[in-house]
Structure 1
Amino acid sequence: MDALLVCQRHSWDQGLTAAVLDAGGEAAALRALVDDAVARQLPDGRLAELDPACSVNGGVVGEYVDRVARRDGDAGLAAAAARQRDWLLTGAPRAADGTLFHLLGGREVWADTVFMVVPPLAAAGHGEAALAQLAGHRARLRRPDGLWRARWDDDAGAPSDGRAWGTGNGWVAAALARAVSLLPGSGLAAEARAHLDACLAHRRPDGSFGDVLDDAASPPDTAVAAMLAWAALAGAREGWLPRGYADVGRSLLAHVVAALDVLGRVTGAAAAPRFDRPGHSPEAQAWLLLADAQARALATAATSSATSAAQPQERVTPAPPCP
């Protein structure tokens, strides 16, 4: 946690850090974080945004600004969250079919955006908009093998980066896993499992995943294992994945834990801020903590179930029939 909190962070990392604090019950720290996100809100509604080229990344922290606003009854936070939602719903640049572009000043659709917009919109009650964004991104980026391309050029009508970028597929896996519980009845559980399985098929013999999943020559990226660990553990805990995925998630988590250095940092991730070499990143740190929280929740649930099963059951005497 210390290693995460002392890192310089972009808007999406502020959102992941908010998720870590929320999962850990750190209410006061979460409040301080969302206040800071609002202090850095741009006039158009983008929260915590220090890079004016980024269009959608503030959506992640927006979910937690809204959550704290509801918890504390804070009208100012609620208004800030609404401005972020309005930016995603109507203000941000998008394609003719409404699919959001990842950056201002360009017309590219990125895999990353799926996590930045689908869960926040679903959590805010805009399920149809969330599913529409998922559909637009899926149509452009999902490949026949089930993996997702990194980027699509909407003007060219073709991929600008057709590689199965590991972190990009991790963002999609996490987004789908979150959306399952946020959008019940949407049928996303099967899609989330299929995508997770497509990623897991490219796990290397040493337990790692490549920066490009299907390129054996690409360097490993520890963050991918952390993201997929979270998705597998969340699905097993929530019941939309078979329990065997809990073992998969724990194995992935153990791989990431083994990569910690003496300062508690995840090593071997694509290094922030340009993600062009191995190193450390706030997102790798956050996904480790989020996956660990899921593993602990699963262990607690298993212990509770075992304790309950071991206790003698009270005999219930049927009531007499009504006269």
Structure 2
Amino acid sequence: MLDDGTRRRVLTALLVGQRHSWDQGLTAAVLDGTGEAGALRALVDDAVARQLPDGRLAELDPACSVNGGVVGEYVDLVAHRTGDDALAAAAARQWDWLLRVAPRAADGTLFHLVGPREVWADTVFMVVPPLAAAGYPYAALAQLEGHRSRLRRPDGLWRARWDDAAGRPADAGAWGTGNGWVAAGLARTVGRLPAGVGAAVAGEVRALLDACLAHRRPDGTLGDVLDDDASRPDPAVAAMLSYAASTGAAEGWLPAAYGGAGRSLLGTAGACLDALGRVSGVPAAPRFDRPGHSPEAQALLLLADAAAVTPGPRRRPRSPRRG
């Protein structure tokens, strides 16, 4: 696990970096987990100030369709805690975008971007746990099913992208971060679902972790492309899988041995920190096309560290009027 000084450096590097909408959501998760209520309130206020007229929160790139769902979870959470009607209304606009307005396939599966009719693995993290947390568990499960049916490969790994117009993969590669988004997203979802379906999703997390860890290299790293031994190591993947494994062990829906795997993966990711507290060698923001640094890697390392030493994600009250 990280020591206090290292955590501060990692957090500082996260907070000073320019961040996209999903990074704001990840940062909100870090702040909520560390009890930083004032900073969390400032963040969600800023997300609402940057809400697009159609409901997408904190969205500075209008090509992105689903990423505001991550910060929407925390706008909704702070609204619930404080009774702030304006925040509640902002969150409701985000849910309306995801549930009714955002571009989607004929079966309702959301497209990741506004233009191309593509289904991405990343979307699982962006919409499944937030919808479940907001009280829409069956909408969350429908998104999981739509993404799984297009993207999960016979070997248990997930493809990166599906071209819905062509009816075939747009990128069949088992990208490490794509699989990491799925594993981490589903780990955040298990405790937010009715018990029976939560157990089924827990089984999916375990199967995906096993499929990913089968490609862990002798030095403990995982590749940018999981099943390509020539691909460069990606520490962000280790952090994502660490978070999923540690969360499942802490919440009791994975065997305790996965907690050890989570700590080992955390060590792999933490070994890539530079003197400024930046996770180095991850796909570099903002284009993710070369090794470098990214706010998402900073936040994911902090979330993995917290999951390794404390219980998993906090459960939220869900409105009985939602489903």
Q: TM-score normalized by structure 2?
A: 0.91
Deviations 1:147-193 (A, max 9, x none): 00000000100000000011000000011111111113202111110
* Structure 1 counterpart of 2:257: 244
The one-letter code sitting in structure 2 at the alignment partner of 1:246 is G
* Structure 2 counterpart of 1:195: 208
The one-letter code sitting in structure 2 at the alignment partner of 1:31 is R
Corresponding residue SS for 2:169: strand
* Structure 1 counterpart of 2:315: none
Return the index of the structure with the highest Cα Rg. 1
The one-letter code sitting in structure 2 at the alignment partner of 1:144 is P
The one-letter code sitting in structure 2 at the alignment partner of 1:193 is R
Number of residue pairs the alignment of both structures matches: 298
Deviations 1:54-106 (A, max 9, x none): 00000000000000001111000000000000000001000000000000111
Once the two structures are TM-superposed, the CA of residue 276 in structure 1 deviates from its matched residue by 0.6
Q: Which has the higher contact order (CA 8 A, sep 6+)?
A: 2
Deviations 1:105-145 (A, max 9, x none): 11000000001000011011111110000000000000000
1:261 is the counterpart of 2:251: no
Structure 2 CA distance for aligned equivalents of residues 81 and 226 of structure 1: 28
Q: List runs of 5+ in structure 2 lacking aligned partners.
A: 1-10, 312-323
Structure 2 CA distance for aligned equivalents of residues 128 and 248 of structure 1: 31
Structure 2 CA distance for aligned equivalents of residues 57 and 167 of structure 1: 15
Q: TM-score normalized by structure 1?
A: 0.91
* Structure 1 counterpart of 2:128: 118
* Structure 2 counterpart of 1:107: 117
The one-letter code sitting in structure 1 at the alignment partner of 2:85 is A
Once the two structures are TM-superposed, the CA of residue 296 in structure 1 deviates from its matched residue by 2.1
| 1:144-223 correspondence to structure 2 within 5 Å | 144-183=154-193, 184-186=195-197, 187-223=200-236
Structure 1 CA distance for aligned equivalents of residues 115 and 179 of structure 2: 24
* Structure 2 counterpart of 1:293: 306
The structure 1 segments of at least 4 consecutive aligned residues displaced by more than 2 Å after TM superposition are none
Corresponding residue SS for 1:274: coil
Structure 1 CA distance for aligned equivalents of residues 50 and 161 of structure 2: 28
Deviations 1:252-282 (A, max 9, x none): 0011111110001111111111111111011
* Structure 1 counterpart of 2:35: 25
Corresponding residue SS for 1:185: helix
Alpha-carbon RMSD across the aligned residues, in angstroms, is 0.7
1:278 is the counterpart of 2:291: yes
